[in-house]
Amino acid sequence: MRTFEISFWDRDDPSLSAMLDERVDMLAGLRVPNFAAGANLKMTAPMDELNRWRKNRKHPLGITASVAAALRWALESDGLFASLFDGRDNLLVPDNPSIGVGVDAGNAARIMVVSGEEYSDPLDLADKIEASKRDIPTITPVPFSPGSKEKASNFAKRKRWAKMVKQELQERFDYLLPPLQKRRFDTWASQRGHIQLHNLGTHGVQEFKGLLRRPWVSMLWVLEKDEIVSPGDSGEFVSSPVLPLILVYAQELIPVDRACTFLSKVVEALTDPKCLEDRR
Amino acid sequence: MTPLKKIPPSIGADRLAGWTDKRMLYIHGFQHYMWYPNCCVQKNIELTEADILRKEMNREDPDPGSRVTFNHIINKAVANALRHHILFNSKRTWRDTYLVYPHIDIANVVDVEGMATQIVIPDADKLTLRQVAQLSHRLVSTRRVTLRHRMSRLDNIFQTLPLFNKLAWAFPFVNRVLRDYSHKGAIEHLESRPGSFLVTNPGTLGVQDCKAMLFFGFRMGCLRVMAIEQKAQIVDGKLGFKKVLPTGLDYDQRICDAPAAARLLNEIQRNLEDPRRYCAGPVDEPEIGSDEGGA
């Protein structure tokens, strides 16, 4: 039997440093000046009609694709939620917002971006997401192992240090110089979409509190379906499935009533999904 | 409108005199540089098996000093789960670096006379459930005595040396300088075992949900346990209820995304829902590199 001994794992450890280097952009974005005042709003959508509709389609849809269609439909009534805001005076409101769908890739979530220009119809977008799910390359996560005694060589350490310093300086200068900031701002939508959708229901998560970083204005999170027990028409108790949704939105930009209206619109589309087809 | 200065003092203001002095060290803990981007994933965990195991173990050994509670089962479940998710058993240092602790030490928040304090169960993953319970009881009763003594000593210092309070903000910085520039300070810092993961149970006070800054930026996660709920369900057409424990994992978004946190929470759930298999039995040393229950 081997003992459970782990060394202090730090940035000089090759496997951990590889993982952390991948998150450098995330760490930079998560510094305090980049936080948005993110508020969390929760609503549940009844799933009876949704389940019937998505399974009876010619191409059945999963939950994520169905919610993406409802989200795209709701964005037509209020595009502010798919805008990008850098916290100063740049607010980009697209005509056809791209939706970024979170995909679990081990240690970090990857975003699959579905272009709003190509898939402006909610159902086309949902079909595209459903079809692309199988095409997403599986990224092998860095294995969590009980520490490694192996240390990076001095050359590798210096090389990594130089790379990180360069990235950090780049971020600082980008932030200071408006043209560079604008160039960076322009690439955000293509990298992560105008609005992001994440489905934590696959992990069984029943409640969530998220945060928001600039330039995104809102994100939608789907949780695990819940069963609500209520008295039925004949007096007996019946159980009905509901889908909890959490909208994280920038409170400094969007008033709460507008956020409620938007989320109700998503819920409305999920409650009666035929409205997505009627639109055609 | 009543001018501000004419508002009468609140009831019990005399008892609150000196309260901010006592809290000063905590207040300085909330400085800007200690903030972190915290997210939280939460789920309901069934407690039926844990309840049966708890009652059985208490029947075997009714001694109050070794009585097993839900808290102890939760601590043991968390320690077991952290074996496979050791990144959450780490601390954040300056310059975006993480140190993974070589031991799994579970810190528990204990409410003593209105002042939250912590006890640490060292190597909780290597202890049996009964040992966790015994150690926890002993530490809590000891802490009640020592904390009272410490607080009264702190009161005396505040009264005799008013300057002490004014300089409280400097303590974290002094610690940091000592750690960074003194070899002895660095060794002491590495050897200190302040509890690598935090478990807090506001559910004992009846709290049903809580979203707050529960741990400072030097830990990577905190398990938050809420009050037990009765959840309605329909089984074979009949209305029934099951006991569930709403359990949330607060984590630092800088270290991982939500799915990785959800996996840790799922493993805690697996341990709690089958405690006889994972928590009560003898302590196994995990094989290095084994895939069982890995991330």
Q: Say how far apart CA B50 and CA A270 lie, in whole Å.
A: 38
pLDDT of residue A194: 92
Confidence of residue A30 (pLDDT cuts 50, 70, 90): low
Is pLDDT larger for residue B188 or for residue A55?
Answer: A55
pLDDT tens-digit map of B257-269: 888 899 999 999 9
Structure tokens at B289: 């590199």
- Within 40-69 of B, beta carbons closer than 8 Å to A belong to 40-44
Is A141 close to B295, i.e. CB distance below 8 A? yes
CB contacts of A24 in chain B (<8 Å) are 96
Q: Model confidence over A90-112: pLDDT tens digits?
A: 788 888 899 999 877 666 677 88
Q: What integer pLDDT is reported at residue B99 of this predicted model?
A: 73
Q: How far apart are CA A60 and CA A157, in angstroms?
A: 50
pLDDT value, residue A3: 33
Q: Note the pLDDT of residue A134.
A: 66
Please say if the pLDDT value at position B294 is more than 50. no
- Residue of A1, A8, A200 with shortest CB distance to B262: A200
User: What pLDDT score was predicted for residue A272?
Assistant: 92
CA distance B283 to B58: 20
Nearest to B37 among A4, A30, A141 (CB): A30
Give the residue on B whose Cα is nearest the Cα of A15. B87
Q: How far apart are CA B38 and CA A62, in angstroms?
A: 29
Instruction: Point out the residue among A10, A203, A209 whose CB comes nearest to the CB of B40.
Output: A209
Higher pLDDT pick, B6 / B120: B120
Residues A193-249 pLDDT 10s:
999 999 999 889 999 999 888 889 999 999 999 999 888 888 788 889 999 999 999
Least confident window among A27-36, B37-46, B100-109:
A27-36
* Closest chain A residue to B233, measured at CA: A229
Q: Looking at chain A, which residue has its C-alpha nearest residue B101? A: A8
Average pLDDT score over residue span B32-54: 87
DSSP string covering B154-180: HHHHHHH-HHHHHTGGGHHHHHHHHHH
Percentage of chain A lying above the pLDDT 90 cut = 30
What is the model's pLDDT at position B163?
77
What is the three-class DSSP state of B168?
Answer: helix
**Cβ neighbours of A198 in B, within 8 Å:** 258
Nearest to B32 among A32, A203, A224 (CB): A32
- Its sign, for the CA torsion A56, A59, A61, A67, is negative
* B204-219 average pLDDT score: 80
Phi-psi region of B236 (alpha: psi -120 to 50; beta: other; left: phi over 0): left
Residue B245: the pLDDT is 93
Average per-residue pLDDT for chain B: 80
The shortest CB-CB distance from A229 to any of B83, B97, B232 is to: B232
Residue-wise pLDDT for B122-131, tens only, equals 989 889 999 9
* Contacts with A, B 209-228, CB within 8 Å: 209, 211
Please report, for chain A, the start and end positions of each structural domain, with discontinuous segments joined by +: 36-137+185-278
* Residue A5: per-residue pLDDT: 36
pLDDT band at B189 (very low <50, low <70, confident <90, very high): low
pLDDT of A24 reads 59
| Across B18-35, average pLDDT | 66
- A36-137+185-278 belongs to which CATH class? alpha beta
Q: What is the mean pLDDT of residues A50-70?
A: 89
CB contact under 8 A, B86 and A206: no
Q: Which residue in chain A has the smallest CA separation from B269?
A: A204
Give contacts of B96 with chain A, Cβ < 8 Å.
11, 20, 24, 27
Query: Do β-strands A226-231 and A84-85 pair in parallel, antiparallel, or remain unpaired?
Result: unpaired
Confidence (pLDDT) at B255? 78
**Class at the top of the CATH hierarchy for domain B23-278:** alpha beta
State how far residue A70 is from chain B, nearest Cα, in angstroms: 23
Distance, CA of A44 to CA of A223 (rounded, Å):
10
Q: What is the pLDDT of residue B269?
A: 95
A8 contacts in chain B (CB < 8 Å): 99-102, 190
Closest residue on chain A to B85 (Cα): A144
Q: Is B141 on the interface with A (CB under 8 A)?
A: no
Q: Do B102 and A5 touch (CB under 8 A)?
A: yes
Nearest Cα to Cα of residue A75 among A101, A109, A108, A98: A98
Q: Residue B55's pLDDT is what?
A: 94
- Model confidence at A1: pLDDT above 50: no
Non-local CB neighbours of B283 within 8 Å, separated by 6+ positions: B125, B126, B127, B128
pLDDT digits (tens, 9 = 90+) for A123-142: 888 888 887 776 665 555 54
Cβ atoms of residues B63 and A230 within 8 Å = no
State pLDDT tens for residues B56-102: 999 999 899 999 999 999 999 999 999 888 788 887 766 556 777 87
What pLDDT is recorded for position A221? 96
What pLDDT, on the 0 to 100 scale, is given for residue A209? 92
Residues in chain B closer than 8 A to A10 (CB atoms): 97-99
Rounded Cα distance between A246 and A196, Å, is 12
Cβ contact (<8 Å) for A208 and B42? yes
pLDDT band at B193, cuts 50/70/90?
Answer: confident
pLDDT at residue B43 above 90?
yes
Neighboring chain A residues of B295 at a CB cutoff of 8 Å: 106-107, 141, 143-144
**pLDDT confidence of residue A170:** 75
**Mean pLDDT in residue range B202-207:** 89
Instruction: Give the pair of three-digit tokens for residue A20.
Output: 């952390």
Residue A16: per-residue pLDDT: 63
Task: Compute the distance between CA of residue B82 and CA of residue B92 in angstroms, rounded to an integer.
Answer: 17
Kindly state the percentage of chain A with pLDDT values over 70: 76
Q: Per the CB < 8 Å rule, is B42 touching A237?
A: no
